[in-house]
């Protein structure tokens, strides 16, 4: 009996429909083991690189690879949130003498102006960063002695707390003491308070400005004393040119890699303290610094000049 061609065609079509489709291949064990090994390292960059390679070499397993990546990102987010919460709790419960970091500096200087000499310079900056509060204490000394006579003796101590009001705004307070007999004063005290604004806060560049009223008392070497209401304007600047090279603009804070410029203005005497510095990182804790300082008094004591400069070459140790 002859079977009609249309019937044979229908049987073949039915058979094809009833044949199971081949199952999608599971992610090969070596590929999965490679992804698991990358995850075990804890290196996020390495994990994403391995997963990208796995997706490229196993395009048919994209859905399974995406599921692995989603699970990894969920665990990663949870771990980061837990770490951030633990860090915040540690900061909030830290004692008065905990969570301080600092920088120590030592080197040589060359001065011109009211004194012209070469000597040693040393500085120290310690800082405590809280959730909203930040405290910074800076000290610096330049000293030179020749033939039994002191020819350079400059001291500075500064304390500055500030409180973060919002993402960009903060309020600050400042207390400062200076002594430089060669500039004509045995002691100069300044206090200030005001508001600051964080203009830029990127990974490689930061810029902040601040302003507020100030009160200054100056004790001169001839026995006179002056006290005046003044105004303070400040600028903090930091630019990481490369991973190892940083340009800074500093004032009265030679022992720090951050920067600031401070102008104090009163009706009788305006002062400017400005430092341009370049830091080169040697290793994770040690860096070399080259800086140039300008100290300007618009109305210096009799016998003193308005402008002093210092060039410094120092080593800075982070702790």
Contact 278, 313 (CB under 8 A): no
The verdict on residue 6 lying in a domain is no
Please report the pLDDT score of residue 212 as a whole number. Answer: 93
The verdict on residue 12 lying in a domain is no
User: Could you tell me which residues are beta bridge partners of residue 318?
Assistant: 103
Indicate the DSSP class of residue 182.
G
Q: Considering only CA atoms, which of 188, 117, 126, 159 is closest in space to residue 317?
A: 126
Contact 130, 99 (CB under 8 A): yes
Tokens of 57: 């070499």
Q: Could you tell me the CATH number of the domain that includes residue 276?
A: 2.40.160.40
State how far the Cα of 57 lies from the Cα of 37, in Å rounded to an integer: 17
Please report the pLDDT score of residue 260 as a whole number. Answer: 59
Please report the pLDDT score of residue 49 as a whole number. Answer: 92
State how far the Cα of 257 lies from the Cα of 263, in Å rounded to an integer: 20
| Domain boundary, last residue among 92, 113, 142 | 92
Per-run averaged pLDDT (10 residues), the chain, 319 residues: 49 42 62 89 89 89 88 88 81 76 91 83 90 90 78 88 93 94 88 93 86 92 89 85 64 36 79 84 87 86 85 91
Please report the pLDDT score of residue 189 as a whole number. Answer: 94
Based on the domain organization, do 81 and 172 belong to the same domain? no
Q: Structural domain tally of the chain?
A: 2
Based on the domain organization, do 83 and 172 belong to the same domain? no
> What phi and psi values does residue 5 have, to the nearest 5 degrees?
-60, -35
Based on the domain organization, do 122 and 246 belong to the same domain? yes
The verdict on residue 16 lying in a domain is no
Based on the domain organization, do 127 and 79 belong to the same domain? no
SS3 252: coil
The verdict on residue 9 lying in a domain is no
Based on the domain organization, do 43 and 108 belong to the same domain? no
State how far the Cα of 11 lies from the Cα of 6, in Å rounded to an integer: 9
Indicate the DSSP class of residue 213.
E
SS3 10: helix
State how far the Cα of 227 lies from the Cα of 264, in Å rounded to an integer: 13
The verdict on residue 187 lying in a domain is yes
Tokens of 317: 């140790």
Based on the domain organization, do 46 and 126 belong to the same domain? no
Residue identified by tokens 């804070």 is 253
| Domain boundary, last residue among 43, 58, 92 | 92
The verdict on residue 185 lying in a domain is yes
Please report the pLDDT score of residue 147 as a whole number. Answer: 66
What does 150-164 look like in DSSP terms, one character per residue?
A: EEEEEEEEEEEEEEE
Based on the domain organization, do 104 and 85 belong to the same domain? no
Where in the sequence is the domain holding 242, given as residue range(s)? 100-318
Based on the domain organization, do 291 and 153 belong to the same domain? yes
Measured at the CA of 278, the angle between CA 276 and CA 282, to 5 degrees, comes to 155
Based on the domain organization, do 81 and 105 belong to the same domain? no
Give the torsion sign (CA, 70, 74, 80, 83). Answer: negative
Contact 208, 232 (CB under 8 A): no
Please report the pLDDT score of residue 124 as a whole number. Answer: 93
- Give the chain's radius of gyration (CA, Å): 33
SS3 316: strand
* pTM listed for this prediction: 0.67
| Domain boundary, last residue among 64, 92, 120 | 92
The verdict on residue 117 lying in a domain is yes
Based on the domain organization, do 69 and 136 belong to the same domain? no
Based on the domain organization, do 244 and 110 belong to the same domain? yes
Based on the domain organization, do 60 and 207 belong to the same domain? no
Please report the pLDDT score of residue 250 as a whole number. Answer: 43
> Within its chain, how far is the Cα of 30 from the centroid?
43
């Amino acid at each position: 009996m002859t079977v009609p061609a249309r019937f044979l065609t229908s049987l073949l079509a039915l058979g094809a429909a009833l044949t199971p489709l081949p199952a999608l291949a599971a992610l090969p064990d070596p590929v999965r083991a490679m992804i698991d090994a990358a995850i075990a390292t804890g290196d996020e960059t390495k994990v994403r690189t391995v997963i990208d390679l796995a997706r490229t070499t196993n395009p048919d397993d994209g859905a399974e690879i995406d599921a692995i990546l989603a699970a990894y990102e969920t665990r990663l987010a949870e771990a980061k949130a837990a770490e951030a919460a633990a860090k915040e709790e540690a900061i909030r419960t830290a004692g008065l003498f905990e969570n301080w970091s600092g920088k120590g500096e030592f080197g040589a200087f060359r001065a011109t102006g009211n004194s012209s000499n070469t000597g040693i310079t040393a500085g120290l900056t310690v800082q405590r960063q809280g959730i909203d509060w930040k405290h910074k204490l800076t000290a610096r000394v330049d000293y030179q002695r020749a033939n039994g006579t002191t020819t350079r003796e400059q001291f500075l101590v500064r304390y500055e707390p500030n409180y973060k009001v919002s993402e960009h705004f903060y309020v600050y307070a400042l207390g400062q003491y200076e002594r430089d007999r060669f500039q004509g004063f045995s002691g100069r005290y300044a206090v200030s308070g005001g508001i600051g604004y964080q203009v830029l806060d990127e990974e490689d560049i930061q810029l902040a400005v601040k302003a507020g009223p100030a009160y200054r008392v100056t004790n001169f070497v001839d026995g006179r004393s002056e006290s005046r209401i003044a105004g303070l304007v400040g600028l903090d600047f930091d630019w990481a040119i490369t991973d190892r090279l940083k340009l800074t603009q500093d004032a009265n804070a030679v022992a720090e890699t951050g920067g600031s410029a401070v102008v104090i203005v009163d009706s009788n005497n305006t002062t400017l303290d400005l430092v341009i510095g370049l830091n080169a990182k040697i290793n994770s804790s040690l860096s070399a610094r080259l800086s140039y300082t300008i100290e300007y008094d618009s109305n210096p004591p009799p016998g003193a000049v308005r402008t002093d400069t210092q060039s410094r070459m120092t080593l800075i140790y982070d702790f």
